[in-house]
Amino acid sequence: MVDIRPFKAITYTTKAGNPTDLITQPYDKINAEQQKIYYALSMYNYCRVILPLEADKYNIASQRLLQWLKEDIMKKEMQPALFVSRQEFHLDGKKHSRTGIIAALRLYEYNENMVFPHERTFRAPKADRLNMLRTVQKDLESVFLMYQDPEGETIRFMEQTTQTSPMIQATDALGVTHTIWKVSDPQKISQLQSILKPKVMVINDGHHRYESAIAYRDEIRSKGDWHEDSAFNFHMSYLVPVQEEGLVVLPTHRLLKHYKLTPEMLYELSYFFDISDVPVTVNAIEAFLGSHFGEHAFCMYDGKKAHGLTLKHEKAIYDFINTHVSRETKIFDIVILHDIVFKHIFKTGQLDIDDTIIYERWTKDALAKVDHGEASVAFMVNPIPAKTVAAIAAQHEVLPEKSTDFYPKMVSGLVLMDISKDETL
């Protein structure tokens, strides 16, 4: 059964300044330019903790947190609480709203069938976050998960909570407004714990953080002198029902570095795909993808031309795709792209993030990176619906790295959780 707990949150105080100048995107979404912008915003900006510019970043992060707590820039709540968190944002000219619960979620191994991943992870980011956990002993950022709530029980709970006065509100650099409400009433907490107890959770975002937290937990346990209520057995998590209307998934476009598209490759692609020319504009490429949703279609751009690729027939793919996945997973667009286009035709072998492959959220950015020579060829893809991700994860299937982009990301710096050895929940 899923075990969620309230926790004594660490938050910024009013002494730190305007929350808008303090919050950041998640550490893995911050590039070098944004890092400098965040540093310039405030001497207390959260980037100085999750992604310091200084060389000894782990110790610097730990020292800063301790200093900020000492100076009352941050404070630790006296009373354990759960939180309701809402993000309001615009996308394609429409206003959206996504609401979830922030709680301490007990860490479960994947084979315990309580928490399921939906995509594979990279070793380097896990090692980085594990080193950060060892040093700061805080959950600096949430893991983002989803669960089924067809009866709408938690949705109603959150709606009632959001009728009260919020604890924190801030707008991030992308124009997303983040609002947090505190729930400290033991009766309400108990009610929510009972509702969530029989659920299973699927990780949307934060696979690396989750797996690093398990590694950290196991390290501490191996030294003895711990119990089940120790905070390091849990991770601060943002939990959203699959039925939440604002649970938006964007595509994650793939850009290859050092792999040129040749006429021979186009000929090979024609065995699997119908190939058409597409104007090199964001609107034309997105229109092509939208009109071929569910048809295993991609757009490919090499700096000269854009080609629309639509799979001819599913039967042709089976001999070329990893046999250790189910039929349902074999026909995911991302799996087809990786196993047929990348491995079979481009002969990429193992792809390493930033080294040989880049991921981009927006079509315009993907095209620009090819135009500027940062990548040699871009593949624009359609998104995978949240319900599909949840269903496939519950079948113990995982997709290639960065298969989904749940938008918007949870900003960092609003709430963090103490997981030091003596902290209990």
Q: How far is CA 331 from CA 54, 253, 340, 348, 389, in A?
A: 45, 18, 11, 20, 13
Contact 393, 384 (CB under 8 A): no
Residue 249: closest CA among 52, 61, 91, 23: 91
Share of the chain above pLDDT 70, in %: 96
Q: State the average pLDDT for the chain.
A: 93
Q: What is the pTM of this model?
A: 0.89
Residue 342: what pLDDT?
Answer: 93
Would the pLDDT of 325 be above 60? no
| Separation between Cα atoms, residue 273 and residue 70, nearest integer Å | 62
Once rounded to an integer, what is the mean pLDDT over residues 316-336? 64
Residue 258: what pLDDT?
Answer: 92
Any idea where the domains of the chain sit in the sequence?
4-248+408-418, 252-382
Token pair belonging to 196 = 């969530």
Q: pLDDT digit string (tens) for 126-136?
A: 899 999 999 99
Q: Order of strands, edge to edge, in the sheet holding 377-380?
A: 273-278, 306-311, 297-301, 377-380, 253-256, 357-360
Once rounded to an integer, what is the mean pLDDT over residues 398-409? 86
| Separation between Cα atoms, residue 43 and residue 40, nearest integer Å | 7
Q: How far is CA 8 from CA 5, 264, 280, 360, 415, in A?
A: 10, 60, 52, 36, 10
Q: pLDDT digit string (tens) for 358-372?
A: 999 999 999 999 999
φ/ψ region of 269 (left if φ > 0, alpha if ψ in -120 to 50, else beta) reads alpha
Would the pLDDT of 320 be above 80? no
What φ, ψ does residue 99 adopt, rounded to 5°? -125, 135
Residue 221: what pLDDT?
Answer: 95
Once rounded to an integer, what is the mean pLDDT over residues 96-118? 96
Predicted confidence band at 321 (pLDDT cuts at 50, 70, 90)?
low
Share of the chain above pLDDT 90, in %: 79
Sign of CA dihedral 363, 98, 20, 63: negative
Residue 268: what pLDDT?
Answer: 93
Q: pLDDT digit string (tens) for 378-391?
A: 999 999 889 988 88
Q: pLDDT digit string (tens) for 330-344?
A: 568 888 898 889 988
Q: Within a 10 A sphere around the Cβ of 400, how many other Cβ atoms?
A: 17
Q: Pick 355 or 11 by higher pLDDT.
A: 11
- Amino acid, res. 282: V
β-pair type (201-205, 115-116): parallel
Q: What's the residue count for the chain?
A: 425
DSSP conformation letters of 238-274? EEEETT-TT-EEE--EEEESS----HHHHHHHHHHEE
Residue 67: what pLDDT?
Answer: 98
Q: Pick 92 or 90 by higher pLDDT.
A: 90
| Separation between Cα atoms, residue 87 and residue 362, nearest integer Å | 20
Lowest-pLDDT range, 96-105, 155-164, 321-330, 391-400? 321-330
Fold adopted by 252-382:
3.30.1760
Q: pLDDT digit string (tens) for 33-76?
A: 999 999 999 999 999 999 999 989 999 999 999 999 999 999 99
Q: Pick 349 or 169 by higher pLDDT.
A: 169
Once rounded to an integer, what is the mean pLDDT over residues 310-334? 66
Residue 323: what pLDDT?
Answer: 47
Residue 198: closest CA among 390, 393, 3: 3
| Separation between Cα atoms, residue 145 and residue 126, nearest integer Å | 18
The three-state secondary structure class of 321 is coil
Q: pLDDT digit string (tens) for 198-247?
A: 999 999 999 999 999 999 999 999 998 789 999 999 999 999 999 999 99
| Separation between Cα atoms, residue 234 and residue 139, nearest integer Å | 9
Q: Pick 28 or 314 by higher pLDDT.
A: 28
Contact 91, 248 (CB under 8 A): yes
